Structure 1
Amino acid sequence: MSVRIVTYNLLLPILAEQPGNYVVSRPEYLKTEYRWKLIRSQLEQEIHSYKNTIICLQEVSNTLLSTLQAFFHQMNYKLFESLYNNQGNDYRGVALAVPANLPLIYKNAVTIGEHLRLTIQSFDATFNSSLWWKTVKYSIMKTFKDQSVNPWEKAMSLKNVLICVGVMVHGRPLFVGTYHMPCLFRDPSIMIIHASAAKDLMFQIANGHPFVLAGDFNMQPIDSAYRAITRRGNVEDRVLPKVGNRGVTYRFNKQQVLRSAYREKNKAEPNYTNFATTRHESSSFCGTLDYIFFTGNLTVHDVLPLPSHPTGKSYPDRTHPSDHLMLAATLQLV
Structure 2
Amino acid sequence: MSVHVVSYNLLVPILAEQPEYFYKCHPKYIDRNYRLRLIKSELQQEITQHNNTIICLQELCRTTVPLLKKFFHPHNYYLIHECYGEEFNDYMGVGIAIPNWMKPTSVKVITVGDEIRARLSERRADSCAIWSIFRQRSRDKSLHAASDPWDNAMKKKNILIFIRVMIHGIPLCIGTYHMPCLYRNPDVMMIHASMVKDLVLDLAKGQNMILAGDYNMKPTDSYYRAITERGYAYGHLPKSRMYEVHYQSDRNRALRSAYAEKNGTEPRFTTFSSTPNNPDFCATLDYIFFNGRLAVDTVLPLPNHLTSKSYPDATHPSDHLMIAATFQFV
Please indicate, yes or no, whether the TM-score normalized by the shorter chain is above 0.5. yes
1:209 and 2:202 correspond: no
Q: Which residue is 1:266 aligned to?
A: 263
CA deviations on 1:118-174 (whole Å, 9 max, x unpaired) are 134x469x9xxxxxxxx9xx99x966x568621000000000000011111121110
Q: In 1, distance between residues paired with 2:303 and 2:243?
A: 49
Q: In 1, distance between residues paired with 2:239 and 2:191?
A: 11
What's the secondary structure of 1:262's corresponding residue?
Answer: helix
Q: In 1, distance between residues paired with 2:62 and 2:150?
A: 29
What's the secondary structure of 1:201's corresponding residue?
Answer: helix
Tell me by how many angstroms 1:228 deviates: 0.9
Number of residue pairs matched? Answer: 319
Q: Which residue is 1:288 aligned to?
A: 284
Q: In 2, distance between residues paired with 1:265 and 1:169?
A: 23
Q: In 2, distance between residues paired with 1:185 and 1:260?
A: 21
Q: In 1, distance between residues paired with 2:15 and 2:250?
A: 36
What's the secondary structure of 1:114's corresponding residue?
Answer: helix
What's the secondary structure of 2:38's corresponding residue?
Answer: helix
1:241 and 2:267 correspond: no
Q: In 2, distance between residues paired with 1:32 and 1:171?
A: 40
Give the TM-score normalised by the residue count of structure 1.
Answer: 0.91
Q: 2:170 aligns with which of 162, 169, 172?
A: 172
Q: Is the 8 A contact 1:231 1:257 kept in 2?
A: yes
Q: In 2, distance between residues paired with 1:68 and 1:243?
A: 45
Distance 1:57 1:237, change over 3 A: closer
1:24 and 2:20 correspond: no
CA deviations on 1:153-200 (whole Å, 9 max, x unpaired) are 000000000001111112111000000000001211111100111111
Q: In 1, distance between residues paired with 2:55 and 2:294?
A: 18
Q: Which residue is 1:130 aligned to?
A: none
Q: Which residue is 2:97 aligned to?
A: 97
CA deviations on 1:234-264 (whole Å, 9 max, x unpaired) are 2736561136444x45221111100000001
CA deviations on 1:93-137 (whole Å, 9 max, x unpaired) are 1011011111321111100000111134x469x9xxxxxxxx9xx
Distance 1:294 1:238, change over 3 A: closer
Q: Percent identity?
A: 50
Q: Which residue is 1:331 aligned to?
A: 327
Distance 1:237 1:28, change over 3 A: closer
Q: Which residue is 2:73 aligned to?
A: 73
RMSD of the alignment, in Å?
2.2
Q: In 1, distance between residues paired with 2:77 and 2:266?
A: 30
Q: In 2, distance between residues paired with 1:245 and 1:329?
A: 40
Structure 1 runs of 4+ off > 3 angstroms?
145-148, 235-239, 242-246
Mapping 1:1-334, distance limit 5 Å: 1-120=1-120, 122=121, 149-234=147-232, 236=234, 240-242=238-240, 244-246=242-244, 248-281=245-278, 283-334=279-330
**Segment of structure 1 superposing worse, 148-157 or 173-182:** 148-157
Q: In 1, distance between residues paired with 2:141 and 2:316?
A: 39
Distance 1:108 1:245, change over 3 A: closer
**Segment of structure 1 superposing worse, 228-237 or 42-51:** 228-237
Give the TM-score normalised by the residue count of structure 2.
Answer: 0.92
**Segment of structure 1 superposing worse, 231-240 or 87-96:** 231-240
What's the secondary structure of 1:153's corresponding residue?
Answer: helix
Distance 1:177 1:243, change over 3 A: farther
Q: Which residue is 1:129 aligned to?
A: none
Q: In 2, distance between residues paired with 1:242 and 1:146?
A: 11
Q: In 2, distance between residues paired with 1:313 and 1:237?
A: 36
Q: Is the 8 A contact 1:29 1:316 kept in 2?
A: yes
